Structure 1
Amino acid sequence: MPVQISGAQLIRVCTVLQDCADQLAVLGNIMPDSYKGRPEADMVVGTDISEVISQNKEAEQSLRTLRHNQGESGCVIDAVQELHKSHKELNRTLETNPLSPDNLTKVQRDRQFLVQVITDVLAELKEKRTFETLLFAVDEEKKKKAHLLDIIIREEEGRRRTKALQRQLLDIRKEKTLELQRLDEMTAHLKDQLQEMKVKTSLERKYVKSSAELLVFQGQKLVTHKEKEVTDEIKLLNDKMEVERRVHMEMEIFLKDNQLRLGEKLEYWMERYEKDMEDKQQEVNLLKHSKATNLSQLQDLARKYRESEQVVMDNRLEKENIRKLQEREQMERGAATKIQSWWRGVMVRRGLGQFKKGKKGKEGKKGKEGKGKTGKKK
């Protein structure tokens, strides 16, 4: 159940938050991007930033006093502590180097975030007297920081893996270099062996030539002896040829019968081939028809996709215009609230309208204010 704040505490919290919003608005006006190109920007921006930092410190002191006075609301204390942390990060960024592009971008982003949170909290405090918006914004900021830390951890792990792969690549390159050197040495060794083989082959060729001449001489002597043996073998072969003729005739008859059977099988397979070709042609025609149907369906889907994409783009433009209009209305409400607060302060300080009192009441009030001032001076 959300905790509601009482009347006096509500006024103090609203006053402190409104002061913070005003200081952040001043900070946004003194830190434009145009200062980056001006040589005198360092001195001017440094003086303005020191003033803003001192004002933020005063606002933090006021928030600490409010936190001590409000002992029963622990959630407000935690939320204010988170707001203090955001202020400290903003101040630390400004004190390092306020004119660097990264710091300027971060300062503007943090300032806009704080202004948005403070504006939402003020609106909620005035309407419902609760601060659920502040708690929700703090939780969302914690989740974003946790997500960023997770991304950084994954990036570091990726860098470590990249370094390990680079080291592995260097090792592989060294191994390949050593292997190339070994192959070059082996190539040189094989070239030497090839040269030796060429010399050895030439010697063997000379030896074979001389041996062949000697064998020819011996062969001529053997030929005369073998001629008689050949005449005897011719007679024997003539007898065998007669046997071979008879065998040849029987083989020819067998082969003709086999040729007839193979011709019949060939006609059967040719008929089956033509039938299969007709079936496959029908399947091809069916596939072409299905391809044309699918192509038309794909064109229809592409047209519907283009129409849907156009609708989405129009919807995005409409949402962007609505968001800009809401931001403008919110800025106008904030400005009206500031003007009303200033006017009420003027009426209270000058005693105008419903805040006007009698002379006796004014004297008593002046006496109390004098005592309060003297107490503060002490």
Structure 2
Amino acid sequence: MSSPLSDVKILRVSAVLQACADQLAVLGNIIPNTSTGKTVMEDDVGLVMESQRAAEHHPKAHEAMQELHISHRELNRTLVESPLFHENMAKVQRDRQFVAEVIKDILAELQEKGTFHSLLKAAEEEKKRRAHLQEIIAREEEGRLRTKALQKQLVDIRKEKTVELQSREELTAHLKDQLQEIKVKTSLEKKYVKSSTDLLVYQGEKLNTQKEKELEEEIRLLQEQLEEEKRVHTEMKSFLKEHQTRLGEKLEYWMERYEKDMEDKQQELNTLNINKANNVTMLQNLARKYRACEQVIIEDRLEKENLCKQLAKEQMERDAATKIQSWWRGTLVRKCLGPYKKGKKAKSKGSKKGKGKGKKK
């Protein structure tokens, strides 16, 4: 929280802000619908210079005014370069009204409280709005990329189903050709049987003119043979009709199976899409867990390395301290310093004892 400004600074800042508000009002009246944007840029530069001079007396106010002017300047540059000029000019008017309202609030706050919190609040709201717009743009880009991937996958599936449909159509055409061949064969057999029967009848009639009595028995036999041929013909005809019916049933069966296979493949495709989405989610969760475990392992490894270094350092320090203490004790012993220092009396007693021992020997 900033402290209130002095009366002199309040008057100065209020005068500058009032001048800015007047310039914005004039700017709103002079901007035409067919303007090229030059007047907007010039007035914007004048507004920025006046606001900077007014905000020099306080650092936070200066920073907030800079944020507002940078945003306003970027917006004007975008409007000048955009082909949608009329929409841009309408947006300029809205931004001008926003800045005018902000200045109005600042003037009211300066006159009542001597502070400029409304300016900082407006700058913070503008930052949040720009961050929200950037987040929306990022989400739209991600959705666009995912849509492209799904479209590509759909094209591949359509190609695969087209190839399968062509193979089914070729099989149907082959079955139709077989049916046509069977029909032709049946027709030829009928013609053959008929021609054979006519020939036999003709021979019988010719023989009957010569040997009517002798060939009555033969005629009867021939009639029996004719009846047998007719029966065979009837059976063959019924067999061919039955075979044709079976082929028709097979054709209907294959058509139903084709439709059923298409439905099953569509269900499999839907299941695969669902499984793919679940696998993507599972992979993302595993990736997050892996990153967390990897971070824990790295931290544990660093902690162990630091502990080993610390232990090695402490061991070296203990070894160095032991060596120093040994050297110092040796120095004290050799030079008879500290607790190892010998007095004069002690030396004399020692010498007498030494002499006494020598005499005893």
Per the normalisation by structure 1, the TM-score is: 0.46
Per the normalisation by structure 2, the TM-score is: 0.48
Tell me which structure has the larger Cα radius of gyration. 2
